[in-house]
Chains A and B, each alone.
Chain A
Amino acid sequence: QKEVEQNSGPLSVPEGAIASLNCTYSDRGSQSFFWYRQYSGKSPELIMSIYSNGDKEDGRFTAQLNKASQYVSLLIRDSQPSDSATYLCAGPPGTNSGYALNFGKGTSLLVTP
């Protein structure tokens, strides 16, 4: 099983600041990554996907992929208390098994008013 590593946090940022969430992966062949948000007691929901090197922006969210260094990051601009959640980084499992995701343990984000 290929590894996806995240710092479990918690990461605490003040409201309005930029939150930076990071993820590293072991499979150099991985091509696609996903960021899911999971509120406490709820199921994961997809925020962003990124398939190529560089940045991808969607509203307040920017995903960054650096294949040479094998890391993926998620930036949240103008953080709001409603962004407080666990953020899961996921990549493909690196097997011939299909499209299932290989999740990291998640980083807990707390945005303080």
Chain B
Amino acid sequence: EAGVAQSPRYKIIEKRQSVAFWCNPISGHATLYWYQQILGQGPKLLIQFQNNGVVDDSQLPKDRFSAERLKGVDSTLKIQPAKLEDSAVYLCASSLVKYLDTQYFGPGTRLTVL
């Protein structure tokens, strides 16, 4: 079974530029998560989708971050405009529907904002 796919793997941009990340979850997984992991810290949830509906976006900086999951499959996360403090690894994870189903993480996108 193919795992969670993410692209790009690395991205370097200057502050105030925009950037977009893409995620393709494991086939059949209804739940998709975007986490932000700053160096030396654990992943922090940005947004959670159930199919194509948002379950939790309470920690998403909505003035600059946006995310969508069209057709309940692929998802994109966008940052516009980027700030220095957005430098982090952006992890996408997916799971089946039931509570306590294992979350499987993609390889992540390492973003550097200069």
Contacts and interface: CB of A to CB of B under 8 A. Distances in A.
Interface size class of A (residues with CB under 8 A): 20 to 34
Interface string B78-102: 0000000000000100010001111
Nearest to A42: B107
Contacts of A102: 45
B44 A99 contact: no
B42 A90 contact: yes
Interface stretch (A14-22, A57-65, A73-81, A103-111): A103-111
Contacts of B91: 43-44
20 contacts: A42-B107, A43-B108, A44-B91, A49-B100, A51-B100, A88-B43, A95-B58, A97-B48, A98-B50, A99-B100, A100-B33, A100-B48, A100-B55, A100-B56, A101-B103, A102-B45, A103-B42, A103-B44, A105-B40, A106-B41
Contacts of B95: 99
Interface in B21-55: 31, 33, 40-45, 48, 50, 55
Given A43-B91, A45-B105, A100 B45 contact: yes
Interface of B: 31, 33, 40-45, 48, 50, 55-56, 58-59, 91, 95, 99-108
Contacts of A88: 42-43
A49 B31 CA distance: 19
Contacts of A98: 31, 48, 50, 55-56
Contacts of B100: 32, 49, 51, 99
Contacts of A46: 102-104
Nearest to A99: B99
